Amino acid sequence: MSEVNREHKSSLFTELFEDPEKLIPLYNAISDSNYPLDTPVTITTLSNAIYLDNKNDLSFMIGDKIVILIEHQSTINENMPLRMLIYLSRVYEQILNDRRSIYARKLVKIPRPEFIVMYNGTDNFPEEMTLKLSDAYREVGTPSAGGNLELEVKVVNINKEFDSPILQNNPDLDGYATFIYEIRQNQESGMSFKEAVDRAVRDCIKRNILAEFLKKHGSEVYNMLFNEFNREDFGAVMREEGVEEGIQKGQLKEKFNIARNLIIGNVPFEIIRNATGLSIKEIESLQMA
C-alpha cells in the first residue's frame, strides 16, 4: 500500500479516510464490492488541483480501477462530470511511467475510472443520482450529434437524516456523518462554530463515535472543518446579495472590507459584529479567506 501524497492538504474527510485500511472498507460499502484489507492500493490524489474546487478529493487505484471519490458539502455543481474528466486526465498523466508510450503502436492498458461524490450538504437532495457529461453537450443538428464520450458521476446523499445503507455498512462513514450532523445541530441551537465543533467532539467521544480519531486529531478538527463550512456560508451570502440592487452589493462589500481590516487588527468578533452588522459566521469566514 502506498503512502498518501502529504502535499495535498487534508480536510477532515481525507484525514479520516486516506489510510487504505479505512479507504478499502469505505469503497466496499459504496460500491457493494468485497476487496480484502490487504488489497494493494495506490493513492493518486493530486496536490494543489483546482478542478474539484475543494480539498475533499481522494483518488486511488484499487484492482483494475482508478476511483475518484470526493465528499461535498456545498451545492452539487452540474459541471462535476467535466471537472472529473479534467482531473482524471491529470491522474492518467501522473500514473503513466513513460508518456511516450502512448505514441507507440502497442495498446497502453489503463485502469478504468469510477467517479463517486458523497453529498453531505444542507440543500434538499435525493438519496442518489447520476450526473452525466453528455448533459453538457451542445445539441448540433440532431440529438445524436452530441458526441461519443460519456462520463457518469454517482452522487450519494450521506446526510445522517437519510440513514443511507452505505452508512449502515461502514461505521467510520456513519460516524463522520453523525459528527457533521451534531455540529450543524449545535449551530442551529445558537452556538458559534467553534463552540459547535468543540461540543460535537466531546459528545462523540463520550458516545464512542470516531472516538479514537477525534482524540488523536481533536485540536486539528476545528481548523480542518472551518473553511469547509464557512466557505459555503460566505458564498451563499454573496449569491443572495447578487440579486439585490448595486448599492446594496456595494454596501455589503464595504462591510466585508471593514471587517477584514478589523480582523487584521485583532479586534474581537463581537465588536466587529456591532460595527458592521455582519454575523459571527460571516466574520469567521473572512478570517480564513
pLDDT digits (tens, 9 = 90+) for 239-279: 444 444 444 555 677 777 778 777 776 777 877 777 777 88
**What is the percent of the chain with per-residue pLDDT over 90, rounded to a whole number?**
34
pLDDT category at 104 given cuts 50, 70, 90 is: confident
Looking at residue 10, its pLDDT comes to 65
What is the average pLDDT across 47-74?
79
Residue, of 144 and 157, whose pLDDT is higher: 157
Q: How far apart are CA 109 and CA 168, in angstroms?
A: 36
From residue 77, alpha-carbon distances to 119, 177, 285 in Å are 11, 21, 21
Looking at residue 55, its pLDDT comes to 65
Q: Taking Cα atoms as reference points, which of 121, 7, 31 lies closest to residue 71?
A: 121
Show the cell assigned to 22: 479505512
Tell me the domain boundaries of the chain.
1-162, 233-288
Q: How far apart are CA 144 and CA 140, in angstroms?
A: 9
**pTM > 0.75:** no
What tens digit of pLDDT does each residue of 168-199 get? 999 999 999 999 999 999 999 998 888 999 99
What is the average pLDDT across 71-94?
86
Per-residue pLDDT at 38 exceeds 90: yes
Residue 142 φ/ψ region, left for φ over 0, alpha for ψ in the -120 to 50 degree band, beta for the rest: beta
Per-residue pLDDT at 94 exceeds 90: no
Residue 41, SS3? strand
> Which residue(s) pair with 155 in the sheet?
117, 129
Out of 42-46, 95-99, 197-201, pick the least confident: 95-99
Residues contacting residue 17 through CB under 8 Å, at least 6 positions apart: 23, 26, 58, 172
Out of 46-60, 121-135, 228-242, 254-268, pick the least confident: 228-242
Looking at residue 234, its pLDDT comes to 43
Show the cell assigned to 57: 478529493
pLDDT category at 210 given cuts 50, 70, 90 is: very high
Per-residue pLDDT at 7 exceeds 60: no
Looking at residue 243, its pLDDT comes to 41
Per-residue pLDDT at 144 exceeds 70: no
What is the average pLDDT across 202-224?
89
- Give the single-character DSSP code of 117: E
pLDDT category at 1 given cuts 50, 70, 90 is: very low
